[in-house]
Amino acid sequence: MSKALRITQHGAPLDVLQFIEGDTTGARPLDPSEVRAAVRLAPIHPADINVLEGTYAALPTLPATPGNEGVAEILEVGSDAASAGWRVGQQVAFAPGSGTWRQRMVIQESSLTTVPQGLTQEQAATLVVNPATAWRMLHDFVTLQPGDWVVQNAANSAVGRCVIEIAAALGIKTLNVVRRPELVGELKALGADAVVLEDVKLRKEARAITGGAPVRLALNAVGGDSAVNIAGALANSGTLVTYGGMSKQPFRLGTGQLIFGDLRARGFWITAWYARATRAEKDAMLEAIARIMRQGHLTPSVDNIFSLNEYRQAITRAMEPSRPGKVFFRP
């Protein structure tokens, strides 16, 4: 029996979240394909809040323990999981949505991912969702070469910052759109090549910013006018990938951007990627990201770390709009 957070219904986070001292979900005997793990550190992401509220697209069967990701240590390994190579003491992370806000987890080995060596615990606990989203979007839609340009909105978001740092490590240049002028210097320090405010009309200005280089990939987490604006930076036959809709406005494009500009609009969801990726594909990506992390990049700044029974403070803090860093649980 161990400690966990749990919801039995959706609603205002502090109304629905429960602290359980006698959680048994991590205590039952293992099936051969399962492992038991002790969660060491788990972040509170905006998507976690949306799960509590019931507004996220993929919701768990209730009752459920929230927590999209985290880093854990394997305590016990079923026989088939052992054959698959998992070992007691190994550091692991999980496919998104596995429910990390608890001390003990029993989980199918197919939902585990290896944590590469040499990462800080904070890096390991935030590897699987945001850096992976940025990595895949920079690789799965357009073949980019060093020197190529990518444009993105919400450049100050967690994924947006990962895009900047990963792109910089790969030699790919980023044109970043933000809402607040005070972010310009901060994102440039992270490796952003150009940072502009939302009122810059990229259809007219993008080529001047890139020195005439075409932009073939746009990453959109906002929707509405902002998506139209970054689409305007794209060269003919460019691809716009949507991974969020922060503006709550629908995704829009001018009809002419599609027909005469041959723009391609796609969507990306990291959870679906993990569901279809092989273990080798996951390992290769996480190791590639870890190489960048070990150079000191993709390090989340820590705002606060709470224990599970401090969940009211933790959630309240995580929902404040102007935190300087990430809020974590240490179960």
Q: Dmax of the chain from CA atoms?
A: 63
Q: Considering the complex, what minimum distance in angstroms separates the CB of residue 120 from its own copies?
A: 30
Catalytically annotated residues: 56
Residue 68 and residue 7: Cα distance in Å, rounded?
Answer: 14
Residues paired with residue 149 on neighbouring β-strands, in sequence order = 173, 215
Among 94, 101, 268, 306, contact with its own copies (rule: CB under 8 A)? 268
What's the CA gap between 148 and 214, in Å, rounded?
8
Query: C-alpha distances in angstroms, 106 versus 32, 70, 95, 240?
Result: 11, 14, 13, 38
Write the interaction track for its own copies spanning residues 150-169; mark x where CB under 8 A is met and - where it is not. Answer: --------------------
Within positions 51 to 110, which residues make up the interface with its own copies, using CB under 8 A? 57-58
Query: What is the Cα–Cα distance from 153 to 62, expressed in whole angstroms?
Result: 35
Distances (CA, A) of 310 to 69, 71, 210: 19, 19, 48
Of 259 and 280, the one with the shorter C-beta distance to its own copies is 259
Which of residues 85 and 267 has its CB atom nearest to its own copies in the complex? Answer: 267
251 lies in the binding site for its own copies (CB under 8 A): yes
Minimum CB distance to its own copies smaller for 88 or for 275: 275
Site size toward its own copies (CB under 8 A) is 29
Binding-residue pattern over the window 175 to 214 for its own copies, x denoting contact by CB under 8 A: ----------------------------------------
- Closest listed residue to residue 249, CA positions, set 225, 230, 224, 271: 224
| Footprint on this chain of its own copies (rule: CB under 8 A) | 57-58, 223, 228, 242-245, 250-269, 272
